Structure 1
Amino acid sequence: MLPTLTHIALHVPDLDTCVAFYRDYCAMQVIHRRAGKGSQIVWLAEPGKEHSFILVIMPGGQARQLASDDYSHFGFALESRAAVDQIAAKAAAAGCLIWPPRDEPYPVGYYCGVRDPAGNYVEFSYGQPLGPGSEAMPIP
């Protein structure tokens, strides 16, 4: 059997603000919350993907200070360019937009970048060969 990526676990400086961010921007839901080593551990998942991939967040981390040209990020696919624009407008109003919407050649597509409360970068894209509509796009 081959390995399967099931989760990413992060320590964050403020658990509740990170839970709210991933709920409000990424439509993730808390599927599990428990005490662990003197703190809370929270599992987040996209609806319907609770058994395939989760984000585990725990308090106690340091805020990340990524450079504006650092493209380390979590990637979320959206259903349209308009949805990317909506996320970008919401993030700009909240002061956490890092990459305004931009269009790049295939396979990158149309995307924007947002900083989560822990300093991680989160990309929202449309037109990549992953996510909504990807079945029609070959991966080069």
Structure 2
Amino acid sequence: MNTHLKSPSLTHIALHVQNLEECIAFYQSYCNMRVIHQRKNEHDTIVWLAESGREAEMIFVLMSGGPFRQSSDQGYGHLGFAVASRKQVDEVADRAKQDNCLIWPPKEEPYPVGYYCGVVDPNGNYVEFSYGQPLGPGAKPLKS
């Protein structure tokens, strides 16, 4: 049966976090996201964050009441943010080093990975900042 359904679109990522206020401050400060919606239910506080201009495309939902995420030393699961230049990757890494949350110093890898560093958020989630991937600022077309 052919239903001609459109493909789904990824619209949000939602995570339970232990310290909601610290995580909101982290994503506001490091990722330039802003709170666009906040509500409370009987168990949780739910906050929607978005990049300016992308509120209708992709949001990040943080929910209170979650456990601290214990990342494995070998784990590479992360959220990825593209930045506008290699210099900006270096600036994020320098700041994260001062804030004691740098987990991957800046590194160049073959295309399509590009230049990146990694930071850990207050809840233990890894966040990558990259330049030169086929996504976001500095994007280069993906080669097959």
Could you state the TM-score of these two structures normalised by the residue count of structure 1?
0.95
Give, in angstroms, the shift of residue 70 of structure 1.
1.0
Q: Which residue of 1 aligns with 2:15?
A: 10
Corresponding residue for 1:65? 70
Give 1:98 shift.
0.3
Structure 2 gap segments, 5+ residues each? 1-5
Larger radius of gyration: 2
Out of 44, 54, 58, which is 2:49 matched to? 44
Instruction: State the secondary structure of the residue aligned to 1:18.
Output: helix
Cα RMSD of the aligned pairs, angstroms, is: 1.0
| Whole-Å separation in 2 of the counterparts to 1:127 and 1:35 | 39
The residue type paired with residue 120 of structure 1 is N
| 1:91 alignment partner, one of 96, 101, 107 | 96
Equivalent residue letter for 1:65: Q
Give the match for residue 134 of structure 2: 129
Q: Matched residue pairs, number? A: 139
Q: Distance in 1 between matches of 2:49 and 2:132?
A: 25
**Once superposed, which parts of structure 1, at least 4 consecutive aligned residues long, lie more than 2 Å away?**
136-140
Kindly indicate whether the alpha-carbon contact (under 8 Å) linking 2:47 and 2:63 is maintained by their aligned counterparts in 1: yes
CA contact (8 A) 2:10 2:58 kept: yes
Residue 138 of structure 1: aligned partner: 142
Secondary structure, aligned partner of 2:124: coil
Q: Distance in 2 between matches of 1:64 and 1:39?
A: 18
- The secondary structure found in structure 2 opposite 1:45 is strand
For the 8 Å contact 1:88–1:114, the answer to whether it is kept is yes
- Sequence identity percentage: 58
Alpha carbons 1:68, 1:98 under 8 Å: kept? no
- What is the correspondence of 1:97-136 to structure 2 with a 5 Å cutoff? 97-134=102-139, 136=140
**Whole-angstrom CA distance in 2 between matches of 1:22 and 1:98:** 16
Whole-Å separation in 1 of the counterparts to 2:27 and 2:58: 14
